[in-house]
Chain A
Amino acid sequence: MASQIFSAIFVIIIGVGGCVAYFWGANKLVDLIFPSRGVAGAAAIDNLRRQGLVRPWLFVGPAMIILTIYLIYPVIETLRLSFLDRGGINFVGLANYQWAFGDRDFRNSILNNVLWLAVVPAACTFLGLIIAVLTDKIWWGTIAKSLIFLPLAISFVGASVIWKFIYEYRGEGQVQIGILNAIIQHFGGQPQVWISLPFWNNFFLMVILIWIQTGFAMVILSSALRGIPEETLEAAVIDGANPFQIFWKIMVPQIWGTIAVVWTTITILVLKVFDIVLTMTNGQWNSQVLANLMFDWMFRGGGDFGRGATIAIIIMIAVIPIMVWNIRQANKETGGH
């Protein structure tokens, strides 16, 4: 174990030192090859121009290489693999896609993913907005926000254990140690095995993600609400608007942009949700989702790369509209700079 710690420290030193050495050394090298100081005027200007051509690429080079290996190449390779067989050798055309849409698990995953997409972003945004508005009005709002924000720091696995403990089930009439069943039993209801109730179990898993992500929505929306000009609110009050009208007709329309950002961010997260389903049910009782199904096929029976890649592509297709929208927005904003 000690050697492990030393190797980690060693890596930090080598990694950081290597980066510094690369950037510093490459920069020096450019200066040496195209000297701009101590040479005649015309040559210096010429060399400065050449430096200006080379240097940006030295700066972005390492990042580009890593991005290419870890993200750009895999995207292309995954697309290619989705047309190949399980070992990634023989071309099978659209067979993997045909398999997917005929597969019971896959269709179940698609349905569940749609359900997650319909519920989680909406619930997080709505709850986040409400909490942001309410906490703005009270003196202990900052503390309240911190506590609601806290689950964002907890891993999905940790959160799953936390909620599994809440959903814990004991036979009827026994002492319930899961708080949900204890409450149900206290009021005379039947304790349930929540995570294996077909269809409804999806919602019990979604609650975990909503619990985690509401804090995110709250923080972003809270800061957007602060940006609303006081005058618009004062004018509404003078005109006799009630709090609900102010909220829906004055505040919400002014932060539509931020709501869209929060919504899309959580949407992407939902498409990738994997840990919660793996640890809570591993897709049993009709709770499978695409990301977990893909992980399953990566390793099932030695791994079926063709089918795994196909599922990844389906997730990617769902993300593409958001990606295009993001790039367009960014282009609009950075157009001049």
Chain B
Amino acid sequence: MNLVLTRIDNRLIHGQVLETWVPFVKADCIVVANDAIAGNQLKKMMMQASVPSRMRVEIGTVVDSVALLKSSQLDKCRTMLLFGTPADAVRAYRAGLEYKQLNLGNLHADKWQAQLSCTLFLDTTDLADLELLDRAGIKITSRCIPADGERSWRKLIPVVKGRN
């Protein structure tokens, strides 16, 4: 397992990931750990169609993805792992996946309570999940694209807004 980037991005594979992060970390394999996409053949196909064919894409449930990453199949790849929500990241951690850093890209909780940056809207469960991962020693940083500065999620003061 050679994880070059672990990222939470509710849009999963999109322009930011493919156009900025892939060349930046020189990834050649993307693992998408998302139950909803894995369970829908059409969504899975669409997502695969947006990636150039020279890159390897593995879309699976969180459990399957963790198993895949722990196996030796992806040893030769520089892998980028994408989660849709902090909850999935916690599940992967509990399933025994070891990762040292976690990048926060885009998150759009519907009933958000806190805004960490212009693209990070978190609700209370998200905050609790991140807290848990942080305690586990994972370095959580917010960085939308490589050209942005990297900032620890703690340093971003949550703008708590009572909404709805």
To the question of whether A and B form a pair in one complex, the answer is no
Residues of A within 8 A of B (CB): none
Residues of B within 8 A of A (CB): none
